[in-house]
Amino acid sequence: MKNFVYENPTKIIFGKDTISKIGSEISSRQINKILMVYGRNAIKNNGVYDIVLNSLREANIAVVELPGVKSNPVLSKVEEGIELARSQQVEAVLAVGGGSTFDSSKAIAAGTLYEGSVWDFFGRRKEAKDALPIFGILTISATGSEMNGLGVVTNEREDKKWSLYSPKIYPQVSIIDPSVQTTLPREQTVNGAVDIISHVMELYFDGSKNIDIMDEYSEGIIRTVIKHVQVLLSDPDNYESRAQLAWCATLALNGSNAPGRRGGDFASHAIEHSLSVWTDIAHGAGLAIVFPAWMQYVYKENIQQFVRFGEKIFNICGGSDEEKVLEAISRLKQFYHSIGAPVSLREAGYQEQDLPAIADNVAQLGVIGNLKRLQRDDVLEILKLAW
């Protein structure tokens, strides 16, 4: 178990009918004017928009709106938000939506107080030293952005989907009402489940040793997601399963799963980000394709952990270690296929001749991964396995 520092300042308010608490949470922190960031029509259709505006009005908080954040959010929208935050002199940013909205809001909050280009913070080249306070209403559980200091944005001018991290961009308060997620399209539920499982696996397979308690915790999250996403596919209104999935999403990337580990791997995430640059594929769908291919390419680096995964997640008990691992990868792909996630680049509409260029795009980040350090040609091999 490696030395670690653990700290997470975000306050989570979770459950039915909790969204209307946002006004008092913000006003109790002496904030009077906010930038409200959201996507398109979803929050207007499910009633969240009205609840939020009413709550803010009752708390006497002035609102500047920035609608139009899209999935795989783009830098130009962040820049628009920074301009607006400055010109309107807002005191905080409120994200209302899913991970894209939260990530954009974090970049806006950091960029507003920074003289240079906000893009400097991406690719971990600089760390934001300050940010406006961030609040959030989560309406799609997947990325875990509601309780961490991470964000991912696409620079569409440079074809780079990169991440930023700063301890200054943890939301102060995030509200999660799973009941508003019952109206999500089926594929968003599926993509969310894949994203959650992938976050856990990025940490689980990072080459850490002697980490039973964190492995147990990781396996618990994965089993819970596998169970409850299947419930939701036949019963999307099931509140209990929505709640389980929502809390798993937060736990999967709020740092609670990281203590004592080697920092996670995140090569699959880096590769997926380049896939999104190519076709705007949903993050979860891209991960369902990439992660099993990554596992196949790297498992020999720490075969016992992959054996353990097969035993604990899929109850695989027979065969050699190698056979168990290959069976586990196969079972993961079967599971993804069964819930409707793509498991190959081909079925997701990629062209085989684009794979080298996608590998080049990933290689702009330099060497990636932690369990196995991956060069551009390693990435190309993984893409071929994913083909």
Task: Count CB atoms within 10 A of the CB of residue 6.
Answer: 9
Instruction: State how far the Cα of 31 lies from the Cα of 36, in Å rounded to an integer.
Output: 13
* Footprint of a copy of itself (CB under 8 A): 1-16, 18, 210-213, 216-217, 219-221, 223-224, 227-228, 240, 243-244, 247-248, 251, 256, 259-260
Three-state secondary structure call for residue 349: coil
CB of 217 to a copy of itself, least distance (A): 5
CB of 287 to a copy of itself, least distance (A): 20
CB of 302 to a copy of itself, least distance (A): 16
DSSP state of 15: S
223-to-43, 72, 235, 245, 313 alpha-carbon distances in Å: 30, 27, 18, 11, 6
The runs of H, that is alpha helices, within 299-346 are 303-314, 321-338
Instruction: State how far the Cα of 267 lies from the Cα of 156, in Å rounded to an integer.
Output: 21
Chain position carrying tokens 């791997």:
265
CB of 239 to a copy of itself, least distance (A): 8
Q: With respect to a copy of itself, which residue has the nearer C-beta, 219 or 311?
A: 219
CB of 215 to a copy of itself, least distance (A): 8
CB of 158 to a copy of itself, least distance (A): 37
- Single-letter residue type at 311: E
Q: With respect to a copy of itself, which residue has the nearer C-beta, 6 or 317?
A: 6
DSSP state of 62: E
Q: Are 151 and 66 in contact (CB under 8 A)?
A: no
Quote the Cα angle for 207-287-295, to 5°: 35
CB of 216 to a copy of itself, least distance (A): 3
292 alpha-carbon distance from chain centroid: 18
Q: With respect to a copy of itself, which residue has the nearer C-beta, 6 or 315?
A: 6
Q: With respect to a copy of itself, which residue has the nearer C-beta, 73 or 149?
A: 149
Q: With respect to a copy of itself, which residue has the nearer C-beta, 4 or 387?
A: 4
| Residue 361: φ, ψ to 5° | -60, -45
CB of 65 to a copy of itself, least distance (A): 27
Q: With respect to a copy of itself, which residue has the nearer C-beta, 175 or 383?
A: 175
- State the distance between the two ends of the chain, measured CA to CA, in whole angstroms: 36
Instruction: State how far the Cα of 279 lies from the Cα of 145, in Å rounded to an integer.
Output: 23
Q: With respect to a copy of itself, which residue has the nearer C-beta, 142 or 243?
A: 243
Q: Are 127 and 149 in contact (CB under 8 A)?
A: no
Q: With respect to a copy of itself, which residue has the nearer C-beta, 240 or 360?
A: 240
